[in-house]
Structure 1
Amino acid sequence: MKIVVIGGTGLIGSQVVARLRERGHEAVAASPSTGVDTLTGEGLAPALKGADVVVDVSNSPSFEAGPALDFFTRTARNVADAERDAGVRHHVALSIVGVDQVPDYGYYRAKVAQEEAVRGGGVPYSIVRATQFFEFVAPVMDLSTQGGEVRLPSLPLRPIASADVAAAVADAAQGAPSNGVRDIAGPEVHRLDRLGEITLAAKPDGRSVVTDEDAGLFAGFPDVLTGDDTVHTAATRYEDWLRQH
């Protein structure tokens, strides 16, 4: 199959492209660096010509509510228009576990709008919702560092390796459209402050973790980011991943 991966040069997309090529598919990475701009539609038509499946793992360059909403809704509309013209049979979108349960966070509202646009786009679809990636823990810690202290709330998370996310997205792309949502997560629930402690135990740098419910990007988040009993769990543990990275 020809499978076009929008955002195919990024963290998840590059791994999805590699996995699909390993399985014998014609996987095409579509991003501004390859001449495809989903915000303007430039390059979409030629990229999608002959495509059976389109995977969208692109991300807004801004986490602010307005720019994120504009990015996700315009991109979804432009991609859906190009898919219908090209006769694409399956659209796969990557989203976030619990995204529809955090209405006060603008970036999550933008992702919900993207999901709604996918559902209404006229192309059979599958939505894969993932928990936070292992790779995001260190940047979240850096943003929450004050002096020698990493100030983090005790919000429960169930983080997942980006490689496991890419595998799930690639599997969805090779299957039939579900016209629904599949939640995926890592194997363990950790409090965010505990993830910070685990990280610094493996890679000490002189900082220490202080529990602060009002600190950082996840301050005030409801406890909805771990998934429920129906979530599909990957095998990679955070401690094991840290030893390899």
Structure 2
Amino acid sequence: MTTIIRLAETASLIGDPTRAAMLYALMDGRAFTAGELAEAAGVTPQTASGHLAQLVAAGMLAVEAQGRHRYFRIASAEIGAILEGLQLVTADRIGRLPRPGPRDAALRKARICYDHLAGELGVALFAALAGAGHLRLSADGAALSDSGTALLGSLDIEVPARRRPTCRPCLDWSERRHHLAGQAGAAICTAALARGWVRRRHGSRALDVTPTGTRAFAAGFGVRLP
């Protein structure tokens, strides 16, 4: 009986149009603020906060703090699978997906985030490293695996040993997926600039990926940018 009650409670949470719209907006793996999810659902931020609190309490959403912002994302692959299954029986688009981050296409493609690569380039690099097993991801963050250390060594990218974490997932402003920060992220960025893989745009944090860089990121890290 308890299982049936919990099932009904979960169905009730998803069945609310406001919560359904916010969950739908999160289905592509990105993370959004309460304000952005309020916009996607067409409700006030105050109303959205109440709904988000319920979803977090039920374990359907996880919260990640970055600076002064709190970002919400789908809590697990199992929750994502439930929502994906529900989408199979409806062809209608729920809500309006928010488009976070800068409007400048160059900033969205590649930019500097403090001292590491961000934007589409940074997120693709993080995904490629994690997908190949060069990064070990956990609830505590990220760490270079033995193969990751060997990869950077083979590319003559030196990661200095300092108090700062070697690897740190950093939630990307525009992509709302993680890019690589920490000593390893900074070392890759430094190498990319020094070797002409990317070039700074004057007066901007935007970076241009050069033809040499396109080849280098593909050959060295398995990153293929559009």
**Same fold at TM > 0.5:** no
Q: Point out the structure with the larger helix share.
A: 2
**Please, what TM-score do these two structures have when normalized by structure 2?**
0.27
Larger Rg over CA atoms: 2
